[in-house]
Structure 1
Amino acid sequence: MAKYRQPGYQDRDRESKNQEPRGEGTRKPPPERTSGPPRWDHALGPKPVNLPGTRTVSRCAQCGTVLDGTATLGTCPKCGFELHSCKQCMYFDPGSRLECMQPVKERVAKKDARNECASYEIRVTREKETSTPASLRPNDARAAFENLFKK
């Protein structure tokens, strides 16, 4: 051991490497798993999302209004934005070729105008459920604050 060298977790490996000949076949196979949960097989696809307190919604790309399931091909009820447009599509990506993740023949010039794209699917997002109960009266907060200082 060197003068100032501290013993570490790789010291045992260093000594064994000096003694063993290098070449093919020197690696040991990983140990077999005998217990524990099964490993995820990536051939089955992505893991399902199980998040408590979430909801799946579609929002208008222009104003952010939550859209109901029947408004997929019309216009936004709040701002009138065309929903069958590139900005509202789940395959819209400004960084990819022709600004679409699907193979398209030509670029659509106006991304916020209605188009007849065959691969259109409305953008759906998963959001946290953040609804809080509203107070019944506006003076409840003031009354609670004043109750802190009562004697």
Structure 2
Amino acid sequence: MCWYCGSPIKDAEPLGRSLLCPECGKDLRSCRNCRHYLPGVSRDCNESQADVPSDRDRANFCDWFSLNPKFREASAGQKAQAAGGKLAAKSAFEDLFK
């Protein structure tokens, strides 16, 4: 999903440098969508060999870019599994008060 608006990213990797989010228009191939982006770490990047751009929100040419797995669109099976887990948790919680 887009780091800015949360809309799903349906394009396959590698993401092109000019690819924009269809909802908000932000660059998708930016530090903020990368699996190496880690605020608080030196240069906000945990890949020591990466040349970190000054603007983390904009598209870049980083060779180390890889879409953060937490930003990928969940598959239908994963969505169903998550929904089933929520129902089971809710049921278990309600059973506590019976």
Q: 2:35 aligns with which of 90, 102, 107?
A: 90
Matches within 5 A, 1:109-128: 109-125=54-70
Question: What is residue 77 of structure 1 aligned with on the other side?
Answer: 22
Question: What is residue 49 of structure 2 aligned with on the other side?
Answer: 104
- Count of matched residue pairs: 74
Structure 2 spans left out of the alignment, 5+ residues: 84-98
Greater strand proportion: 1
C-alpha distance in 1 between matches for 2:11 and 2:3: 15
Aligned-pair identity (%): 25
Q: Which runs of 4+ in 1 moved over 4 A?
A: none
Question: Match for 2:57: what amino acid?
Answer: D
Q: 2:2 aligns with which of 49, 52, 60?
A: 60
Question: Match for 2:9: what amino acid?
Answer: L
Taking structure 1 as the reference length, what is the TM-score of the superposition?
A: 0.43
Highest Rg: 1 or 2? 1
Confirm or deny: 8 A CA contact 1:98 1:104 kept in the other structure. Answer: no
Question: Match for 1:119: what amino acid?
Answer: W
C-alpha distance in 1 between matches for 2:43 and 2:66: 17
Confirm or deny: 8 A CA contact 1:90 1:121 kept in the other structure. Answer: yes
Higher relative contact order (CA 8 A, sep 6+): 2
Structure 1 spans left out of the alignment, 5+ residues: 1-58, 132-151
Q: Any idea what SS the aligned residue of 2:43 has? A: helix
Name the CA shift for 1:96/1:70 in 2 (closer, same or farther; >3 Å). same
Greater helix proportion: 2
Name the CA shift for 1:95/1:79 in 2 (closer, same or farther; >3 Å). same
Confirm or deny: 8 A CA contact 1:98 1:106 kept in the other structure. Answer: no
